[in-house]
Amino acid sequence: MTLSRFAAVQWLSVAAVVAVLLYLLGPILTPFVAAAILAYICNPLVQRLCGWKVPRTGAVVLVMGGLLLLFILLLLIMLPLLEKETRLFLARLPDWIEAARVNLLPQLQQWFGAELQWDSQAVKNALLSHWQSAGGAAAKLLPIIGGSTGALVALLVNLLLIPVAMFYLLRDWNEMVAHIDQVVPRQWHAKVREIAMEVDAILAEFLRGQISVMLLMSVFYVVGLWLAGLEFALPIGIVAGMLVFVPYLGMILGLLLATLAAAMQFTAFGSVLLVWAVFGAGQLIEGMVVTPWLVGDRIGLHPLAVIFALMAFGQLFGFFGVLLALPLAAVLLVALRHAKAAYLTSEMYQKT
């Protein structure tokens, strides 16, 4: 066996061992992976602050504090909205029950051919009592949750570990990159560095494209819901648009909030259908037009390739596969591009 083949076997063996370890340690790697993704996204901001003579640790604290403020702002937008809609729901519940008795009960009697009894007051009391006892039901669930203390503690530890790991990753980012650079074999160093820089450039374009998608979809949802006459068009549209980077979360949460707000505001079901149409159109536009155009073009993927990547990685890896589909597809594209270039200059191609 030649020396080059022996080195190749060694590196393949190392890669196989690393893959096995990643598979076995998968359950505990989630917070570290999440922290690494957030650190990669936030590192350019930290670098810019460091360029303004801010100490690295102080820059990290400022960036993470900004993220915390954004999260708190999102809660401040959503919680009052939910509280107001809940109060409106309880206030309008008796009118809905009476409207159902007047309009729905005759239809049910006609369909089933039987005399149906409807005690509106009993229905109101039953619904209100169940609603008021929700807190008691939640309290009864606490012992059940407490029974699985290990799982609950593990979840809390993982959630707390993400900002801790993110802090240390951001603070020591340059040192870790330098250490990785040192262990790359020198004969491969130039090519590995070239590929890494190309991948980094593509991922930066992906992030810029994703931010553009978030802004554009926020404008679309705000304008669409405003045209539909929804009172809470601005906060719901912003929430739905800003969360599109998490697959389906923005659409589902926005649709639930908008449906509840529409049910509180409108008396005609057609107005609720208009709100649903806005989110249906938004989902189609975001998935078939906006993301392929603003993200796919930036990272060099054909729109069909973007759609295929979202479906394929979602099928293979579930929710996180969809979340990471486009950046992983971009990395794979770079690898295939360099593999093709190596193949075209190889003896195997030249002899064919």
pLDDT in tens, 198-214: 878 877 777 778 888 88
138, part of any domain:
no
Residue 142, pLDDT > 50, answer no
Q: Could you tell me the residue range of the domain that residue 203 belongs to? A: 189-352
Shared-domain flag, residues 66 and 99: yes
Shared-domain flag, residues 219 and 253: yes
In total, how many domains does the chain have? 2
Domain end residue (candidates: 131, 165, 181): 181
125, part of any domain:
no
- What pLDDT shows up at residue 229? 87
Phi, psi angles (nearest 5°) of residue 93: -60, -45
Shared-domain flag, residues 200 and 172: no
Angstrom distance (rounded) from CA 209 to CA 115: 60
122, part of any domain:
no
Shared-domain flag, residues 163 and 210: no
- What pLDDT shows up at residue 93? 67
Shared-domain flag, residues 275 and 246: yes
Domain end residue (candidates: 161, 181, 201): 181
User: Exposed, middle or buried: residue 233 (CB in 10 Å: 0-12, 13-18, 19+)?
Assistant: buried
Shared-domain flag, residues 212 and 69: no
Shared-domain flag, residues 57 and 175: yes
What's the token pair of residue 178? Answer: 């330098």
46, part of any domain:
yes
Phi, psi angles (nearest 5°) of residue 184: -70, 130
What's the token pair of residue 83? Answer: 């509280």
Position with higher pLDDT, 335 vs 229: 229
Shared-domain flag, residues 97 and 193: no
- What pLDDT shows up at residue 266? 77
pLDDT for 23-39, tens place per residue?
A: 677 667 778 877 887 88
Average pLDDT (125-139) is 52
Shared-domain flag, residues 93 and 237: no
Shared-domain flag, residues 250 and 172: no
212, part of any domain:
yes
Shared-domain flag, residues 174 and 283: no
Shared-domain flag, residues 348 and 210: yes
Average pLDDT (142-155) is 57
205, part of any domain:
yes
- What pLDDT shows up at residue 322? 65
Residue 129, pLDDT > 50, answer yes
Residue 146, pLDDT > 60, answer no
What's the token pair of residue 269? Answer: 């079901």
120, part of any domain:
no
- What pLDDT shows up at residue 137? 45
116, part of any domain:
no
Angle between helix axes 26-51 and 56-112 (nearest 10 degrees) is: 130
pLDDT for 230-270, tens place per residue?
A: 887 888 888 888 888 776 777 888 888 888 888 777 777 77
Domain end residue (candidates: 157, 181, 205): 181
